[in-house]
Structure 1
Amino acid sequence: MGKNFRRAGAAVLAALTATALVACSSEQAPQGGGESPAEGGSATDTIVLGFSQVGAESGWRAANTKSIQDTLTKENGFDLKFSDAQQKQENQIQAIRSYIQQQVDVIAFSPVVETGWDAVLEEAKAAGIPVILTDRAVDSDDESLYESFIGSDFVLEGEMAGEWAKEQYDGEGYKVVELQGTTGAAPAIDRKTGFESAIAGSDLEIIDSQTGNFTRTEGKQVMEGFLQKHDDIDLVFAHNDDMGLGAIEAIEAAGKVPGEDIKIITIDAVKDGMQALADGKINYIVECNPLLGPDLAEIAEKVIAGEEVQKRIVVEDQAFDQEAAKEALPDRQY
């Protein structure tokens, strides 16, 4: 499964301190000129990397995009080709094929869903272009189709959320509703699996579960439906902060107090979610660190250099209660 990979180590930071920060926009596609050399190299050392992002569905995704765009710059030896798939697998497949036609050096992407990638990844392999997965994995029997996966352990995140819920509320007969992520997406599948596994044997009961597509708007809409359908909801488990924040809006509109009348557990730990936790509107958050740009840069450099890389690089995440959120917020980077 690979070992934990500590991001932002001294060597990575030294290679990346020259980065020029740019405003994040998942709709933009920076097109580097490929003329700025990597540190200690020449212009020919520039790595042309094509990246296909899932979309711009959440605060987490915006922070993830910004980390990639801020890191993979000409100053750091990269020519970044960026595309926004707008939550559609067909758009990602089209982007990957475009990168193959452009003969980029490396292709990286965060898969919208787990399945359906073998054909296009086989095309990349045939073209001799290495592929790196970020944030989300693919479900394929052929692991030779990609060099490495960089991201969090989504099952563990779900387990951490479920273990805390069980520790806090087991014995109280809590009725739980679940706001799932995008259907078929790795974090949605795995976080659900982890949470259900952790609460097994307790008297916590999931009485309803529906996708909110990782967005605040749909999280609010689904929560409104839950509140109309059920009058005994005790706890919301949201697969990300944005859906949890949408649930807060729906709960408040229904005249209830989020964090008190209805407890809320989420995953991500972006600033808006952390602020809601500090304010007592969310009760617990499991982190999913979006700052994968430095990791991606280092792995891409190693792959191009012909160095061996780990197949699965799992980043370290934390979890926060209200006091921990208050302490972390002043220095929060995302």
Structure 2
Amino acid sequence: MKKKVLSVFLIAAMALSMTACGSGNSGSGSGSSEGDTAPASDEAEDTGSEGDADSGELITVGYAQVGAESDWRTANTESFKSTFIEENGYKLIFDDAQQKQENQIKAIRSFIQQEVDYIVVAPVVETGWETVLEEAKEAGIPVILSDRMMDVSDDSLFEAWVGGNFVKEGETCGDWLADYLEEQGRGDEEINMVTIQGTIGASAQVGRTEGMANKLEEHSNWKMLDMQSGEFTQAKGQEVMESFLKSYDDIDVVICENDNEAFGAIDAIKAAGKSCGPDGDIIVVSFDSVKAAFESMIAGDLNATFECNPLHGPRVAEIIQKLEAGETVDKIQYVDEAYFDTSMDLETILAERAY
């Protein structure tokens, strides 16, 4: 591995990332378009330009991305592509797994064969990684996890994890909902809820479901009618919500584990002749806080969104620089998180958001 000095640009990008709070996904375009990513089953995308610079002096990073299922993911991908560039001392080999673990494992093995300096993975699910991580360790290639966690028996198989505190996000959502219902004079009412979960087994799904379950235990008048996976996509979120509406006549709250699912749920609610948002029949909340979620709140359809910062590139680059310098790094590194609802000056906030 070749030791590099962190560029002024990267330091500035790092500062920008640290000021953005977050945790999320959504449904309109922010960051790069999905067409910019290459399928994991095809050739990985090499985003380092090898024209005039001596690529042998660059730090080569292989990034195995989940896919392009949401606006949050698109912004996350763009953060890596704009950070790990030749001007900053890097060559990035990018691979889109299209939501398939087998594609990510294939990509990691390809990175090992190419003798990259570092491997970054945003794992599709938490389990099933030990063998390929052991192969990376044997090859002497450090692995850094982004966004989602891996459940492994030996945590020395990866150097660090960067992402949101998903359990805390779920708990923050529950606390917000309790305060909101109290303000509406509904604090003691029986509240019927449904949850459109993310991809089952993904860290964000596991954590957000657990956090909200913790808050359900604190409110005996809250009833969870049903939970189904919307796979973090708008289309599946709409499909699940359509099913909920056919099965239950008295839904008060819909919890969507990312913004994209919320957009699909809102479409389903309207198609069924019902309304949602602050002045509607159904309260809709979501996670990720991408730009389209602000637009949905401004339109009066979404009540609140709980943030997950997708700009992980600069934080991962900082970790790599410390490892290059022989320093130790914290194993778990949470990004800052906030939430937003319709009581805020959303138009001003939206105008200043990077994703």
Normalised by the size of structure 1, how large is the TM-score?
0.90
Normalised by the size of structure 2, how large is the TM-score?
0.85
Pairwise CA distance, 1:131: 0.2
Q: In structure 1, what is the Cα distance between the partners aligned to 2:52 and 2:284?
A: 48
Conservation of the 8 A alpha-carbon contact between 1:181 and 1:211: yes
What SS does the corresponding residue of 2:343 show, helix, strand or coil?
helix
Could you tell me which amino acid in structure 2 is paired with residue 218 of structure 1?
K
Relative to structure 2, which stretch is displaced further, 289-298 or 235-244?
A: 289-298
1:178 aligns with 2:177: no
- Aligned twin of 1:220: 238
1:130-176 per-residue CA deviation (whole Å, 9 max, x = no partner) reads 00000111111211000000011000001111111122223121100
1:42-70 per-residue CA deviation (whole Å, 9 max, x = no partner) reads 86541100000000101110111111111
What SS does the corresponding residue of 2:46 show, helix, strand or coil?
coil
Q: In structure 1, what is the Cα distance between the partners aligned to 2:229 and 2:292?
A: 21
Relative to structure 2, which stretch is displaced further, 66-75 or 297-306?
A: 297-306
- Aligned twin of 1:6: none
- Aligned twin of 1:156: 168
Relative to structure 2, which stretch is displaced further, 319-328 or 250-259?
A: 319-328
1:171-208 per-residue CA deviation (whole Å, 9 max, x = no partner) reads 12110000000011111011000011023221111101
- Aligned twin of 1:5: none
Residues 14 and 91 (structure 1), Cα distance of their counterparts in 2 relative to 1, 3 Å cut: closer
Higher relative contact order (Cα pairs below 8 Å, separated by 6+ residues): 2
Pairwise CA distance, 1:278: 2.1
Q: In structure 1, what is the Cα distance between the partners aligned to 2:254 and 2:113?
A: 46
- Aligned twin of 1:13: 12
| Structure 1 residues 91-106: aligned runs within 5 Å | 91-106=103-118
Q: In structure 2, what is the Cα distance between the partners aligned to 1:197 and 1:10?
A: 42
Could you tell me which amino acid in structure 2 is paired with residue 326 of structure 1?
E
- Aligned twin of 1:192: 209
1:301 aligns with 2:321: yes
Seq. identity, % = 45
Please point out which of 135, 146, 155 is paired with 1:123.
135
Residues 100 and 78 (structure 1), Cα distance of their counterparts in 2 relative to 1, 3 Å cut: same
Q: What is the root-mean-square deviation of aligned Cα atoms in Å?
A: 2.1
**TM superposition outliers: structure 1 runs of 4+ over 3 Å:** 14-17, 22-26, 33-37, 42-45
Conservation of the 8 A alpha-carbon contact between 2:47 and 2:85: no
| Structure 1 residues 9-158: aligned runs within 5 Å | 12-13=11-12, 23-25=32-34, 26-28=36-38, 29-33=45-49, 44-158=56-170
Relative to structure 2, which stretch is displaced further, 283-292 or 26-35?
A: 26-35
Conservation of the 8 A alpha-carbon contact between 2:307 and 2:338: yes
- Aligned twin of 1:246: 264
What SS does the corresponding residue of 1:116 show, helix, strand or coil?
coil
Conservation of the 8 A alpha-carbon contact between 1:286 and 1:320: yes
Conservation of the 8 A alpha-carbon contact between 1:174 and 1:204: yes
Relative to structure 2, which stretch is displaced further, 27-36 or 177-186?
A: 27-36
| Structure 1 residues 260-299: aligned runs within 5 Å | 260-299=280-319
Pairwise CA distance, 1:31: 3.9
Unaligned runs of 5+ in 1: 1-8
Q: In structure 1, what is the Cα distance between the partners aligned to 2:113 and 2:49?
A: 18
Pairwise CA distance, 1:16: 9.6
Please point out which of 198, 212, 222 is paired with 1:204.
222
Could you tell me which amino acid in structure 2 is paired with residue 119 of structure 1?
T
Q: In structure 1, what is the Cα distance between the partners aligned to 2:212 and 2:13?
A: 38
Conservation of the 8 A alpha-carbon contact between 1:177 and 1:235: yes
